[in-house]
Amino acid sequence: MNRLQRMLYGANRRGAALVAGAAEILLPRRCVVCGRPLLERGGQAVDLCDSCLERILPLRKPLCRICGREMPQGTGAGNLCGNCLHTRPSFTLCRSLFVYNETLRRIILKFKFQRRLEVLKVILELAGERVPEGFAECDFIVPVPLHKKRLQKRGYNQSLLLAQGFFGYDNDKIVVKLLERTKNTPPQSTLDRRKRAKNLRNMFCIRQPELLLNKRVCLVDDIYTTGATLEECSKTLVKSGACEVFSLTLGRTPLEKR
């Protein structure tokens, strides 16, 4: 590098630093969820403010023994919720890590539809130690699949990213080709409860059912609202020979709005 180049290089670097510094003063970093300017500068991996972080809440016990739904305070441990009493799910156990509130909704939208995958990292750090016992011991970990057309459009399956985050990126129990979504139907969030169940009928199929015989499977999905998607996946797995199905979701509608 000659003297001139060094001068130019140095000048550029100083120039770039100046521009970056000015941008930080003029355009403060903002929280990806609420849009408030962040007080601290730099350092944090993701722009998420403390008050949004505090809104990421665990579920409150007691929980339904099967589906993990929050139950009214005072309900005895080990009880079942009305839904599970009415129709026993085909899965043995479902647990969710956080309350699906407005903050979590926005966070999920960020990584699901806006490709803000760094937002997912924050959530996974919080989720770290929260995966309940027994789930990691399943024989297979199966992210709820997207239809291949939707996968092509989005470029990634958010449930696979969650499964990798919960159980490790190189966990060879995570299988994506076992369960397949055969119909590309409207998103569940656009339908009411009755239509959701109908929308999902015969929606999934199993590739290589011989692998499933007497195996315990852990399904992973982003949100549990009515549980219809997980139930449909679980039924398909059990019909094809799985001995037990667990379900794990990131978010869960709480008993009362929080």
Residue 33 touching Zn ion (CB under 5 A): yes
Residue 119 touching Zn ion (CB under 5 A): no
Residue 67 touching Zn ion (CB under 5 A): yes
Report yes or no: 46 and 126 within 8 Å, Cβ to Cβ. no
Residue found by looking up tokens 């994506």 in the block: 176
Q: How far is the CB of 24 from Zn ion (least distance, A)?
A: 18
Q: How far is the CB of 52 from Zn ion (least distance, A)?
A: 3
What CA–CA distance (Å, rounded) separates 202 from 14?
Answer: 62
CB under 5 A: which stretch of 48-56, 122-130, 133-141, 192-200 binds Zn ion?
48-56
Q: How far is the CB of 33 from Zn ion (least distance, A)?
A: 4
Residue type, 228: A
Residue 52 touching Zn ion (CB under 5 A): yes
Which residues have CB under 8 Å from 124's CB, separation 6+? 162, 165, 166
Residue 84 touching Zn ion (CB under 5 A): yes
Residue 81 touching Zn ion (CB under 5 A): yes
If the CB atoms of residues 95 and 181 are measured against Zn ion, the closer one turns out to be 95
* 236-to-79, 163, 256 alpha-carbon distances in Å: 26, 19, 31
Output the six-digit token pair for 185. 């139907």
What CA–CA distance (Å, rounded) separates 85 from 126?
Answer: 32
Q: Which among 160, 120, 168 has a CA at the least distance from the CA of 143?
A: 160
Residue 31 touching Zn ion (CB under 5 A): yes
Residue 63 touching Zn ion (CB under 5 A): no
If the CB atoms of residues 145 and 227 are measured against Zn ion, the closer one turns out to be 227
* 47-to-5, 112, 119, 175 alpha-carbon distances in Å: 36, 17, 8, 32
Handedness of CA 34, 37, 38, 39 (dihedral sign): negative
CB under 5 A: which stretch of 9-17, 42-50, 166-174, 216-224 binds Zn ion?
42-50
Site string for Zn ion, 187-226 (x = CB under 5 A): ----------------------------------------
Residue 230 touching Zn ion (CB under 5 A): no
Which of 29, 34, 130, 225 is in the footprint of Zn ion by CB under 5 A?
34
Residue 64 touching Zn ion (CB under 5 A): yes
If the CB atoms of residues 49 and 127 are measured against Zn ion, the closer one turns out to be 49
CB under 5 A: which stretch of 55-63, 83-91, 140-148, 161-169 binds Zn ion?
83-91
Residue type, 109: L
The footprint of Zn ion (CB under 5 A) covers: 31, 33-34, 49, 52, 64, 66-67, 69, 81, 84
